Amino acid sequence: MIDLQLSKYIYTSEGDQMLTIEMQIETGSVVALYGSSGVGKTTLLRMLAGLTKPDDGHIEVNGQIWFDKKKGIHVSPQKRGVGMVFQEYALFPNMTVRQNIEYGLADHRDKRWVDELLELTDLTQLSSRKPGTLSGGQQQRVALCRTLAHNPSLLLLDEAFSSLDQATRTRLQDETLRLHRHFSLTTILVSHDIEEIRKMADVVIKIEQGKIIKQGKPADLLYAPKKYHHIELTGILTKVETVEGGCILTIHASDSTHRIFLDTASTVQNPTQWQVGDSIVITLPYESSSVRKL
């Protein structure tokens, strides 16, 4: 169990504000932090990792105190058993794939551990390559392996897949979930992608203006009509059909395909200007004559 109560003064585009977070996270779960940019999601991850010191509060993980302002405890990042993967891969360009992963090894771990990680992530054949010769998805897998090399119990993902194309993002989501289960991790991810959250998270925590405003299952928080008045769909456009009164968009999102009819009253302007293969985000009202289930 992760138990935390933290306060941190942060600086945002909307002005200075106090980030005040109190929550508990079950060991072994996948938790998504959701909210607009600048509300403190990344700051919260950095405080868990020990990279940013809170102004007040405490962090207790499985009975161990990592931070306690009143007791003067602030455990260093190296002693927390936390792995953090950023949107930027931050690989060493002069090192091979294997050398990059070995760099993340804890001192006590045998280098044969790297062989296991390479095999688990299908990187064995690329182990002698330099990062500059790899695709974005391959580089992110290397970054993930390097993070896992020191055997963390807590994995933090800060929009780790957001710069990838949809197909690569989907594969890495699957890969990360498999590794999460294989290594019995507790995983906390920051994401703006609703489909990613729906697919990966057991719990979603929505943060606004420095505070948690909602917490629960993704299906309840992100899709419930009684709580929200719109739906946001992110995916790849696979077909555009012009029909009487509007058009039909076929969108592949994660592991599902949706067909959406947009009529002339739709808030989406000029949908026919999109090209097949485009990555698009559509926000539509739940109850509207402009949306019909097909």
Residue pLDDT, tens place only, 253-280? 766 777 777 765 554 555 556 678 777 7
Tokens representing 5 are 């109560």
Task: List the domains of the chain with CATH numbers.
Answer: 2-222 (3.40.50.300), 230-285 (2.40.50)
Tell me the β-bridge partners of 22: 5
Average pLDDT over residues 70-76: 95
Task: Name the more confident of 287 and 43.
Answer: 43
Number of residues written out for the chain: 294
pLDDT on residue 187: 97
- What is the distance between the alpha carbons of residues 191 and 187, in angstroms, rounded to a whole number? 13
Q: Predicted confidence band at 292 (pLDDT cuts at 50, 70, 90)?
A: very low
Tokens representing 286 are 């739940």
Residue pLDDT, tens place only, 201-210? 999 999 988 8
- What is the distance between the alpha carbons of residues 61 and 84, in angstroms, rounded to a whole number? 16
Q: Predicted confidence band at 7 (pLDDT cuts at 50, 70, 90)?
A: very high
Average pLDDT over residues 2-24: 88
